[in-house]
Structure 1
């Protein structure tokens, strides 16, 4: 069970918290205003904590020392940046995600190596997909796409192998390169290249397809 801290309990934070808790994630929501927790509704079964989201004492009480993911989704870009920087630099949280309002800051976030979601539409759904897939395979974000490295899971595919062209055509992904699990040989694939279960893959995947593609990523 993943431990997730969400900082900000507005419309996005509350929606994200309910989506995660209903998918068996252990969630703690932090907000500076206690009345914001009313947005969660009665179905939310996680924890809430009033306090400043980048305060170390607050984050420790929220469980950051055993945390897998921190998502900062307040209405302030500066606050969100401070939250994720404290989480990753001080506590080594493996997956931090910031909501970004000012698109002119995207280049700065990319240079910092931060995972973020920019814009107002479907923000909770995008962050939910990122959390469900996991950080271990994430390399970078680029526009509407995630660039990821992972060991491919083909246990559910016949003969545990698949052609690159079939995978790309049916699942909206682009395979950039791969390394064979059995011998370490690397290659830039053609459409006819075959991937085998356990091969290491670098791929470009649209944000909105992350959750459905998750079955191809070994945990």
Structure 2
């Protein structure tokens, strides 16, 4: 994947090193060149000095072909601005903004921006948000007949009531993570871009669920 990380502080540098080591193409943006010293000599990606919400800086970082972007500067407002530019202007598919104040997280979720709490979420969780497949097995429970799978909500299901998921096949919505908070589903709850759904499905049906999701997306396009 081509990933841009804006902010080369403690979290940003650790995330960049992790992703680069895994073989991703990583570009790190920071206005202070000395911040790149945190990356060390083993970093294989690109270092772009500049302001993260400047269009030319983002273009130099390769945002036109980026698969994901993480805005992890020390400033919430800057992170949200950067994330909105990436999502709305350049149509980057996966965008994460680190927020110190989570009070407005749900508003950003509606805009298709995932948010991460500095206090609760570390590099592992940010990596998962940026790189995890849209639909992936999380754990097998009990005797092995049921799997819990994680589904990053596809755009085709944005705004649908949570009950609509039942039309995709045999499944149960176990929980929903939105704005970094995991809750039990409530009847009539509307799905939003950025939602992470935790589904219980019969073992061996993951491919069928993936086909149903692909079909739902094609229906919306048509």
Band the TM-score falls in, shorter-chain normalisation: 0.5 to 0.7
Q: Deviation string for 1:16-72 (max 9, x for gaps)?
A: 000000000000000011110011111111110000111111111110111000100
Equivalent residue pairs, number: 170
Note closer, same or farther for the CA distance 1:76–1:185 as it changes in structure 2 (3 Å cut). Answer: closer
Task: Look up the SS of the partner of 2:119 in the other structure.
Answer: coil
| Partner residue, 1:59 | 58
| Partner residue, 1:34 | 33
TM-score by length of 1: 0.67
State the 1:152 CA deviation: 6.7
Task: Look up the SS of the partner of 1:199 in the other structure.
Answer: helix
Distance in 2 of aligned mates of 1:58 and 1:100:
22
2:195 equivalent to 1:196: no
2:106 equivalent to 1:102: no
> Contact 2:27–2:46 (CA<8 Å) still a contact in 1?
yes
State the 1:112 CA deviation: 2.7
State the 1:109 CA deviation: 2.2
> Contact 1:32–1:51 (CA<8 Å) still a contact in 2?
yes
Report the aligned-residue RMSD.
3.2
Unaligned runs of 5+ in 1: 138-149, 202-219
Unaligned runs of 5+ in 2: 152-161, 174-199, 211-222
TM-score by length of 2: 0.66
Which aligned pairs between 1:117-196 and structure 2 lie closer than 5 A? 117-134=116-133, 137=134, 150=135, 163-164=145-146, 167-168=147-148, 186-189=169-172, 193-196=202-205
Q: Deviation string for 1:129-170 (max 9, x for gaps)?
A: 222214xx2xxxxxxxxxxxx3779xxx9xxxx622xx24xx
